Structure 1
Amino acid sequence: MSIRFTPDEAWAFVERAHTGVLTTLRRDGYPVALPVWFVVVDRTVCFTTPPGSRKVARVRRDPRASFLVESGDAWAELAAVHLSGQLAEVTDEPTTALVDELFEAKYAPFRVPAERMPAAARAVYRERVTLRLVPDEKILSWDNSRIRLRGD
């Protein structure tokens, strides 16, 4: 048996993950990897971010990006899915509304109530840009729990 996920298993694994690592490229080509909340829509990964963020500037300059979700503490439990592709801003209202709805369902229990945030932070997060990673067909994945260890 392969330790790789099938495409369906990979997307199910991504959907179950809480936080992912999004990597974009600086102007000089160096990668910037940041933890992000996300939702999956039609086998793409969607994020929201303030419009003035450097992430948005990097995406506008160079849309190449990668995304990783992982789990496991012990080596025999390690599993991950890595996607590479192109990031683009989402501007159509039905998709942005769907992303907002999915974010609310997934992350509402984890948000800091707005009234507890400083006014400057509330102002930054009031407006959001929706970004969508459209991955290449190749999915890099592994699940070490599929390896038959001696003595098992």
Structure 2
Amino acid sequence: MNQRAHITMPDDDVTAFLEGSRKLQLATINPDGTPHLVTMFYGLDEGRIAFWTYAKAQKTRNLGRDPRVSCLIEAGDDYAELRGVLLYGKAEQVTEHDRVMAIGMLVARRMTPDVPDDLLSQYVEQTGRKRVAYVVERTKVVSWDHRRLA
């Protein structure tokens, strides 16, 4: 077995890694073709990456032109500890208000796991007025776990 195949995470490990992480690096495509890369908190909507952002944000404008995204979730400091999942896909905008708010709650819960739901929902309702939400439909998944090398 080659090293690449050996460090690839099984599907269950990918799922657990996504469930246990909080932030991702989101890449969209600028009008000139360069990548626009930002750190985002995310939630999982039926196993799919879900995030929200301001309606006037650069990433929102980019996704309106081209819905292709890359999502990188990674962990580890030393080479032997590096783990990550790189998802390629298309970000589908969520427009229904209740679903936008639900995704906002998923994201807010990961941002602030110790805040009571009533306070979180106030924050989500308030900030959600200016936000849009997205769910990423995966087209390709690449994963690695260098701990498997030991």
Report deviation, 1:103. 2.3
- Contact 1:89 1:131 (C-alpha < 8 Å) held by counterparts: yes
DSSP-derived class of the 1:106 partner = helix
Q: How many residues align?
A: 137
Alignment of 1:51-130 (within 5 A): 51-108=55-112, 127-130=130-133
* Structure (1 or 2) with the greater strand fraction: 2
Distance 1:100 1:36 in 2: 12
Report deviation, 1:73. 0.6
Report deviation, 1:126. 5.0
Report deviation, 1:95. 2.8
What TM-score, normalized by structure 2, do the two folds share?
0.81
DSSP-derived class of the 1:139 partner = strand
What's 2:20 paired with?
A: 16
Distance 1:107 1:80 in 2: 20
Compare CA radii of gyration and give the structure with the larger one: 1
- Contact 1:7 1:139 (C-alpha < 8 Å) held by counterparts: no
What TM-score, normalized by structure 1, do the two folds share?
0.80
- Superposition RMSD on alpha carbons, in Å? 2.3
Distance 1:26 1:66 in 2: 13
Distance 1:126 1:97 in 2: 9
Q: Which moved more, 1:61-70 or 1:8-17?
A: 8-17
DSSP-derived class of the 1:28 partner = coil
- Unpaired runs of 5+ residues, structure 2, are 116-125
User: Deviations for 1:5-25, whole angstroms, at most 9, x for unmatched residues?
Assistant: 112211220121121100000
Calculate percent identity across the aligned residue pairs.
Answer: 29
Q: Does 1:132 align with 2:135?
A: yes
Report deviation, 1:57. 0.4
Distance 2:59 2:76 in 1: 28
Distance 1:85 1:24 in 2: 11
Q: Does 1:28 align with 2:32?
A: yes
Report deviation, 1:141. 0.3
Q: Which moved more, 1:24-33 or 1:1-10?
A: 1-10
